[in-house]
Structure formats: C-alpha cells, structure tokens
Structure 1
C-alpha cells in the first residue's frame, strides 16, 4: 500500500504541474497530546492514561481531487481521499482511500451525480450543526461514532441550491448475492439517506433521514446499524454562533429484550472573541430506551456530556486547539467522552455508572 500511495502522489503532482486548474492535492495534519481517566481495566478497576494522539480535533487526511470542463455548464469530477494517523504513519484502515473514492458529473442546472465510496450521509451532514464539528469529543461521543461512518458502493445526488434550499440523497448497494440488503463481512449492508438543508445569512436548518444496515441487512444495534431521524439548526448573532439538534435512533431488529431506541440532544455556542481566537461550550445528552444490554448493545440508560474547547489561529492554515470534557453516566451507562464502540478492541469507556474526564491539546495544519 505504501508503494501504491507513493506512486499516486507522484502522479498527482506531475498532473497538477501540467494542469494546475484541474487537479489538486489537499489534506490536513493533526497531532497532539491526550489525557483520559477512569478507563475500565476489565478487572473491576480503572486506569488513567497520557498519550500522543493524532486526529483529536479532526482526522488527518490526504486527498486528490480534480475537475474537467465538458462545456455547456457540465463538469466531470473525482475525489480520492484517505485518513492518516500521523503518530505511527499508517493510513486508511486497510483501504487505500478510506474516506472518499468517487467520480461524477456536475451541471449548473441539474446538480451533481457521483458514484463510489464516500462519507455516510449523516457524517457528511451532522458536523455542520455540531458545536465541536465532530472532534474526538463531540456529537459522536454519546452515540459511539454512529454519525461519522463511511459507506462503499454509493450512488449520490446533490441538487443545485434554490434560494438557499438544497437536497442530497445517497444510496449504498450491498453488492452481495446472498441478499439484496446484505453487505460484505465486516462492512455495512444496503444503506441510504436523504438530507434537506436551508442556508441563510442569519440561520441554517437541516433535516436528515437515513438507514444504516449491518452486513446481514438488519437494523440490529441503535449505535451501529439503525434508522436515524435528525433535525438541527444554527443561529448567528454578531460574534456568537448557537447550535442545537435532536436525533432519534431506532433499531427494530435488535435481539429480543435489548434496548432498541435512543434519543440524542445537544445545545452549544461558539464565541468568536477575536479574528484569531474562539471559545466553544456545549452539552450533549443521550437517553437509551428501556431494555437490557450485552457486549455490543447499550442497555436502557442515560448520560450527559459537558465540553469546553478553544482554537487559536496562527495563520489561515494553521491553528492550535484545546478541549476538555466530562461525562456523567447513569447507573447503567458507561459512555466515554470519546466515540468508542461498546465492543471496541481499544476501549475507552469507564465502568458502568462511573463518570469520566478527558482532555487534549494539539495543532492542525491544512494544505
């Protein structure tokens, strides 16, 4: 994979040199230091850790995108993008292009149609209404990363903007002969969604409905394979940006007796104190419906996450950041301040009923 990626970088660089208006190499690099306490150790106790981490504010990535003017207001386009982990130099989680790999056509009148791998529609849509823009501590925390996934085999449509209003639809095929809704082992099944957005200078509103299936084509877990109903809004007042949202998750194919629904709320605000310095505060609340749990399913419970963060711009492309967060779990909950799946191989959750504090500082450079 390293040799393949290196060859693509060289090819993109040479292409950009001959046609700079059509091909762009882009990305961002994020690294820093992280602290987390009350991590369950599996023996009934807890531990704390300090660690060097990449991607706490946002995923480090490398991408190549390009366009070709076909005339008549129509453009051909592509985007190839992979995640990076700068602390150990790995990329993509086993995929050469883990985040985006698609090709499409865009027309000024009828919109954009594309096919390939991309961020799942809620990941592409929730971050804009999240005060912490889906950092390691964010709206993804109390839903165990349900809203920052990627899906393969997508066909996707983006409408033009009509007086501030636009529509986006996404359909991800399972590509399996074993069943129309099924997906490959370890991947999602057939999944889909639609997003409606209105933007104005004063406020934005967005609604999303999506279906994320497991590899067996079922809605079997509220935080990994479920239906989602999302409504969010942004309000801009002078130096303030106020953001709020509500999400309902439903997983009707969950095992009998297991909690199969959850409601997620948040409210936050960002104060742009100076052109370089901003401060953000938010509260996130999750309520999991009645039912038991197991290694991969959360039981009926609730939790409240409080977060405070800041950024300071050193330039237009480089900034420093810092975030601190605290989660208060109910007696049956064990949510982490970080978006870690319940059955993760690298868990960060506390013991059931325990609180947790986390913090990180770092630097982001965009190119």
Structure 2
C-alpha cells in the first residue's frame, strides 16, 4: 500500500486540478464553433455519446442522402413508376428509418463506379450503398471506411450458350467486356495472365455500357460480379440463351462505405445493417416486430428491439431504432428474397449469404447486441 496523503499533498493536488480546469476552459473558449468531423454535441443519459457531424447533418435536413447504382436489377433500379427498388435500396431505407424514424426520408443519388467515392468525399452523400467491394487499397488509402459486409459475391463470366463452353479457361483469344473504374478489369487480367491465356479486354465506361456491348455481340463474354451477371441476363432478349460459367475468379465482399473520421456514423450504419441480419437469426420479421417488441421473453430480442437496455441512445438514436429499421423493410432474409432470391427475377440461391447456422451454412453472422 502507498503512503497516507498529507494535508499539503491534498492541497497541492487540488490546486493542480483547478489549474487544469481553467486551462481546459480557455481552450474550449478558443475552439471554433463549427462541428468537427467527429462530434458536435454531447448527449446525456446512460451510455451518453457525442453526436456525429454526419448524424447532425442528416437530422437537420430531415433526409438521408444515399449513393446507389445507376441501375442494377436486384440491387438498385427504378421501377415503372419511377420508384427506387433493390437490395441496396432497402438497406438505405432501413438506415433512414433507424435515424429519422421514416424509411421514405431518403434521397437516392445514382452514381457510377468512377464517381462514387468522390461523391462521398465531397459530402454529396452520407453513405455509399452501391455494390462496392471492400479491398485493402480502398480501406487504407483515401478517406473511406467500410462499415460492414452485406453481400458476399465473386466475379464470373456470362457467355452465350451457343459457344458450348464449360470453363473460362476455354476463352482463349476471346473479347471480354468489363467495366472501367472497378476491380473487374484487374481481376480478369490476373486470371488470364496467371494461366498464360491470351484475351482482349473491351473496357466500357459503365456497367450498363458493358451489358449493352455484350448484347450487341461486341464481345464474347461479359465479366462482372455474379450477381450483376444474373441481373444482366434478365435484361437480354433471350435470357435462356446465356449462361454464367462456374468459374469464380475473385472474392467480392460488398458493403456500405462512409467517410473516415466519423466513427459514430460508421457505427450507426454498421449496427443498422447488423440489426437486419440479427433479426433473421432471431425470427423477428417485418410482420411480427411490433408484437415481439411487446411480448418477447428472449433477452436477445428485447435488447435488439429496445425493450431492454438503452443501446440506441449510445449511438445518438432512439432506443427503438432497430424496431423502426426492421419494421420498414423486414429482416435480412426478407430483403434478400424480395430483391435477389426466390421472390425476384434473379432467383439467386443464398449460398454464402445464408445465415451462419443455416443448413448449408453461409457467412452471414449477426453481431450480438448487449
């Protein structure tokens, strides 16, 4: 044990503490009034947090600005009535519901692969939810932060059935349509170079342009994420005359991107996405979320839906933030089935995007709320 403090020692410590408080007060008085990139105002209560600059901006304007694909069936596109639909679109709506209590309080900003990151850096959007792959270069350079993974994809090849191909290794000398400003061209180069196969890249400015070039037979194959190839096939005149080869040449973990430096906003995006994933695991659906919030005895469900604990306030949100998000679009499985799975034109199997405890198991794993 240390020595007992003397009266002089206590008096000295008190003087030092007062001096420190005075110094801090002077620094605060000289600090700029404009919000920093991380915080603007402290919240009170249990688990109090400092509110993020992005969250403050979203609340002030009463609308979320969400960057999405210009038009990719299944992920982000406008229907015949001009309404935005898709997997990524639903996650944007869930985030708006979690933050503002209104899934319709969102402005969708269509972006190309080449201008998506600049739009985020410039502040034109609050979050980028546009089938974007999490790579080391993107994560360690620039001003980007990935908030999670909501879809596990991989790059493949779409070819005409008439070519009677069974593998991409048979594409010797082929013309391959790829999109610029993405990882697709680099993945194709790696794949064919490592195998000593000659090919010719036909690089187009957008994914739509690449799809159209393939449709005009300006190339022999179209290479992109398998989900994008499935979407492209639905737009062709005779979808049944085109096949996706079994070769998967890359790993493409897709997820939302935010500006680096606003950790609170990053957490809000991450946990909103996680709420939908965890809801599926726990059996919480769009239809039963209200009843579950009122009557469930499962402590995991009660924490998720705000019946127990104060987890929302720790992020600067209401404690029923997850209930609002799930009630607006449903759980992860509902969002998947409606846009990409059995209830959609794409009819994609869950595969890697099945829950971790499904049979067969996938990679989707809900983080615990506790």
Provide TM-score, normalisation by structure 1.
0.22
User: Based on CA coordinates, which of the two structures has the bigger radius of gyration?
Assistant: 2
Of structures 1 and 2, the one with the larger relative CO (CA 8 A, separation 6+) is 2
